[in-house]
Amino acid sequence: MGLIHCRFMQDLAGKHIVLGLTGGIACYKSAELCRLLVKAGATVQVVMTEAAAQFMTPVTMQALSGRPVYQSQWDVREPNNMPHINLSREADAIVLAPASADFIARLVQGRSDELLSLLCLARPAERVPLLIAPAMNREMWVHPATQRNLRQVDADGARVLGVGSGWQACGETGDGRMLEPQQLLEEIVAQFQPKTLAGQRVVVTAGPTFEALDPIRGITNHSSGKMGFAIARAAREAGADVTLVAGPVHLPTPRGVVRIDVQSAQQMLQASLQAAQSASIFIATAAVADWRPASQSEHKIKKDGSGQVPVLHFVENPDILLALAQGERARSGKLFCVGFAAESENLVAHARAKRERKGIPLLVGNIGPLTFGQDDNSLLLVDAKGERELPRAPKLALARELVTEIAARLPAGSA
């Protein structure tokens, strides 16, 4: 598991990130963000404004980044006295976290009388993206001037990452909190992923379904949803608009993904049909129950002391993938359907048969007991040309490979 965890944490290997801190209490989150970036394989150069140093010491950021912190445009460590040029040219991306309302206004105005705003202005915009993580009081966030400035920095080529909502240091509650470090890491990693699904709308189903027997009990399976959630994240990283239809799992929603929570197979079917009306790709990763109880007891089914086991009757659940694959959008070539097969034996034979039975262009097979609940997996890709195995790897790495495979199989002009 150590090697797997390490592989997960190297998404930014070889990348050099300039992390800019401006004045705000959210600077405490920047310390954790810096740590996560380094663990992900990046080198991090911290640049702080004078105001930022009131909330977080340069010593802390130097210890976490392993590099001296820059604060002044007159830094004598630079032989040419041009840190704004040198730092911006070395960067693969500049991340402002936190970005205060004042600093965002400075960017809009093109002001450059201190190092951080100066290097933002001097960056080669065509190859060094500027990612902005705002942080401010809720009233400052909704103020027309702030919203106007955010629209302008976006129009000028920066990428505004949005804000969170919740309790603020001032004691108020609302929008304006800086995103959490893990969310920001996801955004930064996504920035560097190839946009192979740009313009696509993707629907992914994930996790198990739960078929109720009574208000207490039900039938489900061991699916954790991790593979489906990884695919949703990978598709979003690749530039797609993603809707995730999730069964009952306890996983955080991937950043930027729209999530619809369901319980039963019938609920998953309805949510999938609705979401797929405007989709171009449907990926059926969920482990859907084949059967459900013919009726659900209104109250808990109790033992009566007789030793007799209740007789349960079942009916077959709808085939979600088949319903989508035989729908008008798929038949007209507007919806590319991908199925998953979780088997316990004879994977190749069962996967081939399932692909033919569903009439889909691509089916992904795996051995369920070897993957349920795990952070890694191995996949078998089955299409009309044959089979190809993706060796065991972290699920997110496999999800990115699968997204690349799907993109390569899409009909020309499908975006």
Catalytic site includes residue 6: no
d(CA 88, CA 101): 22
CA-CA distance, 267 to 227, in Å (whole number)?
20
Among residues 6, 27, 170, 337, which one is catalytic?
Answer: 170
Q: Which two tokens stand for residue 230?
A: 């990884």
Tokens of 96: 């402002």
For residues 197 and 414, give the distance between their C-alpha atoms in angstroms, rounded to a whole number. 10
Nearest by Cα to 30 from 9, 44, 13: 44
Residue matched to tokens 């909330």: 55
CA distance 410 to 368: 27
Alpha carbon dihedral 104, 105, 107, 109, in 10-degree steps, equals 170
Query: Cβ(374)–Cβ(3) under 8 Å?
Result: no
Q: How many residues does the chain have?
A: 415
Rounded-to-integer distance, Cα 67 and Cα 57, Å: 14
Cα distance between residue 181 and residue 387, in whole Å:
40
CB count, 10 Å around CB of 378?
Answer: 16
Cα 121 from Cα 114, distance rounded (Å): 11
Tell me how crowded residue 222 is: count the other CB atoms within 10 A of its CB. 12
Determine which helix (DSSP H) or strand (DSSP E) holds 189, and give its type and residue range.
helix 181-191
Residue pair 47/16 in contact (Cβ under 8 Å)? The answer is no
Residues with a catalytic annotation lie at: 170
